[in-house]
Chains A and B, each alone.
Chain A
């Protein structure tokens, strides 16, 4: 690692310790958190493209069951379910758990707290390659005999525990479980690294309460991941044992599946649901918290105004994190779980609306009396707020067991989680991409393209997912490969058609983003060190940052992250590293 550097490399090495040389060390098995962050980002990008293509195929099949879909041919119902399962799994795990946290978190957490790298670089590398392996295994499930599983991303037994229960419940299901197990391990390693880094590597003066809200969100998300993934791992192991070692954790006695008696007895399918959702609900906050952090950071930066209620924001995220572990039962109101426990779960769930409300109000408060600059990242941050509200407000419906009776497992739920997760959280990723791209690649992304991309995606997303609420109210169940069999669904097909058209347009529009991304890497106009006039540490260092982030100097922090428009200050922003005084508050 140390030896054999070109003159340039040597010079650099002289300043910033040892920069690795050689392609493999530098780009493949790199220990540099920045490289690893980018690796995660592109893994997620690959995943999201797969996920999007799957979603398109699903949409097309739903409205034209007999039509032959490009690359997919005519889908059979079981194939539809396979695509749906993989769509959900890939999007939740390999996109929303990967890009915002492991991707941007890896790249910018150390820089924003003034550290030269993650606490455990090797572990960092390990967790990326484990994630990569996990993704490879997941994709492999498509190609084995019987294909990928069809039991949905929630993978409920006994459907997922009995190979005869359906195509894809053979080897495909095992691969799915193995992939998820690997993913759990990787995520826990990653979380360990994030937490240790945040606690131990902060630069001089960077108190916890001076950290950018992005760092807070990554920190809290890491804690959630650390505690949640262990439980999913446990569930996965138990299910693998039921499938392959003849144990009976989840399968009761005397079942007959497609004429074949099942050799299990005494288990309970609900046990899996509890284990899964104990992980599953914190997981959805793992998906959104980094987005909240990014939104807060950007709204403040581009409104040229300090964040409204910094502490309130931090405490809100903390309470969302804590409450998130007490609400998993709200996915199980109809599952046969004790109706009395539904009370407790419902109460807790409604309570989560409060910190979420605080955040929403504070975002509005941040922009209030601001001086808003409509850059692409800001647009996506604003879009995030709008979508978070729209998606979040369907939560309190589902959170009340009485109302959840007709709505559970209908498209109302699909609408809920797509708006808040499928797009709000994704908007967080977009915002982060447009915001940090200059720092990562030293070039600006194209402004006009960014704005076009925003408008189409924002409107498109609403066109896709808003009508799903109406479908849900009309009683349209989820996970139906077509709506021709159940009579009362036939009249709803036109709405599904509309959704499909909207989806085609929205997905196509993503090509603009992809083009902008790759074109700007090569051709974008050069970015100076601090193009957004932001205050946090990543903007104090070179673009792109040197191997050790700060080129040998250890930054010293003098005040909080969002000192904008300070009266009497020379510029309308004061960097965290700038000793200039700021009014006490």
Chain B
């Protein structure tokens, strides 16, 4: 809780409602984790969504902390086996498809970089939005290098790579149930892949909003928040990879 104390200072919230008239309101629930539809003020919403993400990362961390501790406990565990009348530890070290995983890692890290470009690009668009929105000034939103697309592509590349990795594991005889070590391999990589998939979907959604006439501010928030989430996913993967490599 101590970490929260910095926020003790009172904020002067910029008028949200009431003044609601002058700022356009975006109808529709606003998917992708549902942002404060009630409060059109854009800077306000950006800050809030970032905070929300920061908070939202905590349970994900806890999930993987729990998995990791289970991993380490199960690895060191000797349990009484009634067939052999002895304590056995059946943990068999994994033979990881390391090369492939390294390649996937590169994909993910690269995507993290392009993600950052996409984020900057989106915020730039958001800033100049009022100008481009003026009649007569060309709206070149969709032009510029498609960083978003590249990121999504790389992300999907990573996921495909992971699927390959699973195939390879099965090839070398490590199935979900063959050994606790392989169970954990599928569990950790699978859980991470699912979370990343969420990011991919969010980005795709952000991409689509270009064609839906959603103002760039709205999209910027999705992209920005997803970007931080994406970086976190990259870190998380590095951690998982390290865990699997070091504590086998």
Q: What is the 8 Å Cβ interface bit string for chain A, positions 290-326, against chain B (1 contact, 0 not)?
A: 0000000000000000000000000000100110000
Q: Could you tell me the distance in whole angstroms from the C-beta of B85 to the nearest C-beta in chain A?
A: 9
Q: Is the CB of B60 within 8 A of A119?
A: no
Given the complex of chains A and B, what is the CA–CA distance between A193 and B30 in angstroms? 16
Given the complex of chains A and B, what is the CA–CA distance between A220 and B1 in angstroms? 9
Stretch at the interface among B5-13, B123-131, B148-156, B202-210: B5-13
Q: Could you tell me the distance in whole angstroms from the C-beta of A280 to the nearest C-beta in chain B?
A: 13
Partner of A253, one of B16, B29, B83: B83
Tell me if B93 counts as interface (CB < 8 A to partner A): no
Q: Could you tell me the distance in whole angstroms from the C-beta of B195 to the nearest C-beta in chain A?
A: 12
Cβ contacts under 8 Å, B38 to chain A? 17, 31, 116-117, 121, 548
Q: What is the 8 Å Cβ interface bit string for chain B, positions 20-47, against chain A (1 contact, 0 not)?
A: 1000010111110111111100000001
Cβ contacts under 8 Å, A16 to chain B? 17
Cβ contacts under 8 Å, A26 to chain B? none
Q: Is the CB of B34 within 8 A of A122?
A: yes
Q: What is the 8 Å Cβ interface bit string for chain A, positions 536-554, against chain B (1 contact, 0 not)?
A: 0000000000001000111
Tell me if B246 counts as interface (CB < 8 A to partner A): no
Interface size counted on chain A using CB atoms at 8 A: 72
Q: Is the CB of A122 within 8 A of B37?
A: yes
Tell me if B172 counts as interface (CB < 8 A to partner A): no
Given the complex of chains A and B, what is the CA–CA distance between A494 and B51 in angstroms? 58
Q: Is the CB of B17 within 8 A of A247?
A: no
Q: Is the CB of B180 within 8 A of A247?
A: yes
Cβ contacts under 8 Å, B79 to chain A? 252-253, 266-268
Within 8 A of B (CB), among A119-135: 119-126
Q: Is the CB of B177 within 8 A of A246?
A: yes
Tell me if A200 counts as interface (CB < 8 A to partner B): yes
Q: Could you tell me the distance in whole angstroms from the C-beta of B14 to the nearest C-beta in chain A?
A: 10
Given the complex of chains A and B, what is the CA–CA distance between A226 and B115 in angstroms? 28
Stretch at the interface among B66-74, B99-107, B136-144, B157-165: B66-74
Q: Is the CB of A122 within 8 A of B35?
A: yes
Query: Known interface pairs A125-B34, A206-B10. Does A234 touch B80 (Cβ–Cβ under 8 Å)?
Result: no
Tell me if B135 counts as interface (CB < 8 A to partner A): no
Q: Is the CB of B34 within 8 A of A123?
A: yes
Cβ contacts under 8 Å, B60 to chain A? 230
Cβ contacts under 8 Å, A196 to chain B? 48, 51-52, 55
Q: Is the CB of A247 within 8 A of B58?
A: no
Cβ contacts under 8 Å, B242 to chain A? none
Q: Could you tell me the distance in whole angstroms from the C-beta of A414 to the nearest C-beta in chain B?
A: 29
Q: Is the CB of B1 within 8 A of A322?
A: yes
Tell me if A108 counts as interface (CB < 8 A to partner B): no
Query: Known interface pairs A121-B36, A255-B82. Does A192 touch B55 (Cβ–Cβ under 8 Å)?
Result: yes
Within 8 A of B (CB), among A169-215: 188, 191-193, 195-196, 199-209
Cβ contacts under 8 Å, A241 to chain B? 176, 183, 187
Q: Is the CB of A245 within 8 A of B1?
A: no
Q: Is the CB of A230 within 8 A of B62?
A: yes
Tell me if A223 counts as interface (CB < 8 A to partner B): yes
Query: Known interface pairs A207-B8, A247-B177. Does A223 touch B34 (Cβ–Cβ under 8 Å)?
Result: no
Interface size counted on chain B using CB atoms at 8 A: 61
Query: Known interface pairs A2-B27, A229-B59, A275-B66. Does A31 touch B1 (Cβ–Cβ under 8 Å)?
Result: no
Tell me if A479 counts as interface (CB < 8 A to partner B): no
User: Across the two chains, which residue of chain A brings its CB closest to B83?
Assistant: A254
Cβ contacts under 8 Å, B74 to chain A? 249, 267-268, 271
Given the complex of chains A and B, what is the CA–CA distance between A39 and B196 in angstroms? 32
Q: Could you tell me the distance in whole angstroms from the C-beta of A556 to the nearest C-beta in chain B?
A: 10
Given the complex of chains A and B, what is the CA–CA distance between A344 and B35 in angstroms? 43
Q: What is the 8 Å Cβ interface bit string for chain A, positions 220-254, against chain B (1 contact, 0 not)?
A: 10010011111101110110010001111100111
Partner of A554, one of B18, B30, B47, B89: B18
Given the complex of chains A and B, what is the CA–CA distance between A484 and B171 in angstroms? 57
Tell me if B4 counts as interface (CB < 8 A to partner A): yes
Q: Could you tell me the distance in whole angstroms from the C-beta of A219 to the nearest C-beta in chain B?
A: 9
Within 8 A of B (CB), among A519-576: 548, 552-554
Q: Is the CB of B15 within 8 A of A554?
A: yes
Query: Known interface pairs A122-B37, A229-B59. Does A318 touch B1 (Cβ–Cβ under 8 Å)?
Result: yes
Q: Is the CB of A123 within 8 A of B88?
A: no
Q: Is the CB of A238 within 8 A of B16?
A: no
Q: Is the CB of A120 within 8 A of B82?
A: no
The 24 listed contacts between A and B (C-beta, < 8 Å) are A116-B16, A116-B17, A121-B34, A123-B34, A191-B59, A193-B52, A199-B51, A200-B11, A200-B47, A200-B48, A202-B13, A207-B10, A208-B8, A226-B59, A227-B62, A228-B62, A230-B59, A234-B62, A245-B183, A252-B81, A252-B82, A253-B79, A266-B88, A275-B70
Binding site for B on A (CB under 8 A): 1-2, 16-18, 31, 116-117, 119-126, 188, 191-193, 195-196, 199-209, 220, 223, 226-231, 233-235, 237-238, 241, 245-249, 252-256, 265-268, 271, 274-275, 278, 318, 321-322, 548, 552-554
Binding site for A on B (CB under 8 A): 1, 4, 7-8, 10-13, 15-18, 20, 25, 27-31, 33-39, 47-48, 51-52, 55-56, 58-63, 65-67, 70, 73-74, 77, 79-84, 88-91, 176-177, 180, 183, 187, 191
Beyond A265-B88, A321-B1, 19 additional pairs, beta carbon < 8 A: A2-B25, A17-B20, A116-B16, A121-B38, A188-B59, A196-B55, A206-B10, A220-B1, A226-B59, A227-B58, A229-B59, A231-B63, A266-B77, A267-B74, A267-B77, A267-B79, A274-B73, A278-B66, A554-B16
